[in-house]
């Protein structure tokens, strides 16, 4: 779908909801905790929000119907995918040296001597034109500056790649303490294992190196892997015609969302907005308490129809509930209420064999998706008697191809713990700290 069409369709529905509400941009922006100019850009199609949470809050403030919420999410997914492809294309386009007359090959050749000298521990040779007045010094200096900047960027990128490549992200992955959540969380990891037609050559079966986190999640198969939120087309390159964007810290409503943390109330930050939940969880080493609400966006990578045959819950481990403090995200006295979602499912992690069941009034699998027709699934996982590590397997088929996508939290299972009998806290409006739940006096 062309960029202008996807963004324009998304913005048109936002404007329709805003105009129907009768509220001004200023009033809506204040309630959404964003600037008026930012809201203008969203509604005019000049920008697409990076997160869906503020879009959903805007729609609910404007009294959007359930069908409109589903359609708005669909349009946001398409506009966000186009925005992601545009950003990737811009990152791959090298900047040009206007009027320098120096090509990439020449720049690389000029960069080689100083780089080699540095690696040998010797200082780089002085530039040929230094203080000699020979040659077009300004242009050559610009070229050398760009080359040195490129070397620095490459060095930083190599360091980042090395850090990312460390097994378990530098954590021992034993599941104790903060559950290995020292790094940012919120975007789920997806790996895939697909079956090709009989006439085609089988995919590579080379197993990825083992890591300490292996015992907490499913086995990885590099062949056909499809990263979460991958731009359209990446799945096709690897043989998987579908991608999954998972949001493990979505909120059905603030009143239903709680987290356990192994910290005293005096060390806890105030409750975040939904879009800040992932960072808040990471900062406190928190775990979803009592239930976890996941939003899964499933989208095809091409025009062909892909059938989502089902979602299977897999348990990676069960333990006694965490003996941590329980923190409620809702401010006392603030009204709460989530809309009735389509494609909504529930699962009890206390069961010996947890399985998804459609919420009343919702259909069950299979569903169909394509690049222009994504689906959004809402999962509520509840638990009271255990601390559970779990993940999902999504089965798909398209023509004579089929496979399974493993959906987890960036290579680790989702984690949800029961909270019965745990000390519970809430954060009063206008207060400066957490207090025991139920002690706040409402005026």
Q: Give pLDDT tens digits for 222-234.
A: 333 334 444 333 4
Partnered with residue 391 across adjacent β-strands are: 314
pLDDT given for residue 29 in this prediction: 85
Choose the final residue of a domain: 32, 63, 91. 91
Q: Does 422 fall in a domain? A: yes
Q: Does 15 fall in a domain? A: yes
Q: Does 107 fall in a domain? A: no
Residues 300-352: pLDDT tens digits?
998 899 999 999 999 999 999 999 999 998 766 554 555 556 799 999 999 99
| In a shared domain, residues 244 and 387 | yes
- Name residue, tokens 């966006």: 297
Quote the domain boundaries for residue 322.
Answer: 189-196+213-436
| In a shared domain, residues 78 and 217 | no
Please provide residue 149's backbone torsions phi and psi, each rounded to the nearest 5 degrees: -65, -40
Q: Which residues of 161-180 are buried (b: 16+ CB within 10 A; e: fewer)?
A: eeeeeeebbebebebeebbb
Choose the final residue of a domain: 31, 61, 91. 91
- Please give the chain's pLDDT, 443 residues, in tens: 555 688 899 899 999 998 988 888 888 888 887 888 888 889 998 888 888 878 888 888 888 887 888 888 888 888 888 876 666 665 555 544 444 444 433 433 343 443 443 334 444 444 444 444 444 444 444 444 444 445 444 444 444 343 333 333 333 333 333 333 333 333 345 555 554 443 333 333 233 333 333 333 333 333 333 344 443 334 444 579 999 999 999 988 767 799 999 999 999 999 998 889 999 999 999 999 999 999 999 999 988 999 999 999 999 999 999 999 999 987 665 545 555 567 999 999 999 999 999 998 899 999 999 998 999 999 999 999 999 999 999 999 999 999 999 999 988 999 999 999 999 999 988 788 999 998 865 44
Q: Does 161 fall in a domain? A: no
pLDDT given for residue 65 in this prediction: 83
DSSP run (H or E) holding 367: strand 367-369
Q: Does 301 fall in a domain? A: yes
Tally the domains of the chain.
2
| In a shared domain, residues 87 and 217 | no
Q: How far apart are CA 166 and CA 164, in angstroms?
A: 6
| In a shared domain, residues 83 and 223 | no
Which has the closest alpha carbon to 192: 157, 158, 218? Answer: 218
**CA distances, 135 to each of 104, 128, 131, 132, 140 (Å):** 20, 9, 11, 9, 8
Choose the final residue of a domain: 31, 56, 91. 91
| In a shared domain, residues 264 and 402 | yes
Angle between helices 36-44 and 25-32 (to 10 degrees): 110
Instruction: Assign 215 to helix, strand or coil.
Output: helix
Q: Does 205 fall in a domain? A: no
pLDDT given for residue 305 in this prediction: 94
CATH at residue 57: 1.10.260.40
| In a shared domain, residues 80 and 218 | no
Q: Does 141 fall in a domain? A: no
Q: Does 344 fall in a domain? A: yes
């Amino acid at each position: 779908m062309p960029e202008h069409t996807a963004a324009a369709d998304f913005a048109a529905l936002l404007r329709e909801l805003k105009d129907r509400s009768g509220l001004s941009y200023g009033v809506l922006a204040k309630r959404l905790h964003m600037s008026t100019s930012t809201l203008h850009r969203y509604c005019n199609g000049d920008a697409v929000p990076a997160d869906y949470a503020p879009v959903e809050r805007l729609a609910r403030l404007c009294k959007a119907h359930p069908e409109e919420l589903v359609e708005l999410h669909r349009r946001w997914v398409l506009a966000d995918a186009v925005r992601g492809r545009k950003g990737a294309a811009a990152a791959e386009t090298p900047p040009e040296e206007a009027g320098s007359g120096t090509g990439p090959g020449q720049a690389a050749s000029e960069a080689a001597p100083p780089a080699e000298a540095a690696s040998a521990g010797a200082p780089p040779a002085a530039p040929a034109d230094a203080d000699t007045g020979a040659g077009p010094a300004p242009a050559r200096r610009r070229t050398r500056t760009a080359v040195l900047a490129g070397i620095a960027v490459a060095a930083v990128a190599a360091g980042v790649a090395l850090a990312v490549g460390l097994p378990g992200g530098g954590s021992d992955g034993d599941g104790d303490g903060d559950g290995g959540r020292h790094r940012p969380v919120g975007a789920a990891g997806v790996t895939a294992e697909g079956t090709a037609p009989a006439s085609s050559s089988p995919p590579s079966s080379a197993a990825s190196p083992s890591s300490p986190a292996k015992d907490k999640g499913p086995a990885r198969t590099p062949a056909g892997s499809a990263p979460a939120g991958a731009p359209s087309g990446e799945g096709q390159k690897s043989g998987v015609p579908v991608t999954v964007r998972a949001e493990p810290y979505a909120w059905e409503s603030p009143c239903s969302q709680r987290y356990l943390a192994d910290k005293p109330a005096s060390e806890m930050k105030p409750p975040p907005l939904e879009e800040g939940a992932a960072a808040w969880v990471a900062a406190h080493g928190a775990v979803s308490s009592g239930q976890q609400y996941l939003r899964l966006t499933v989208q095809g990578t091409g025009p062909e129809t892909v059938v989502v045959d089902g979602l299977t819950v897999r348990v990676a481990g069960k333990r006694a509930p965490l003996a941590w403090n329980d923190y409620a995200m809702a401010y006392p006295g603030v009204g709460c209420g989530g809309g009735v979602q389509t494609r909504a499912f529930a699962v009890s992690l206390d069961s010996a064999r947890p399985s998804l069941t459609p919420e009343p009034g919702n259909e069950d699998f299979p569903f169909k998706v394509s690049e222009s027709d994504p689906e959004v699934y809402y999962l509520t996982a509840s638990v009271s008697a255990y601390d559970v590590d779990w993940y999902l397997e999504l089965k798909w088929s398209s023509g004579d191809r089929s496979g399974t996508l493993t959906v987890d939290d960036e290579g680790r299972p989702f984690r949800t713990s029961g909270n019965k009998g745990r000390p519970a806290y809430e954060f009063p409006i206008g207060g400066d700290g957490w207090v025991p739940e139920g002690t706040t006096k409402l005026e």
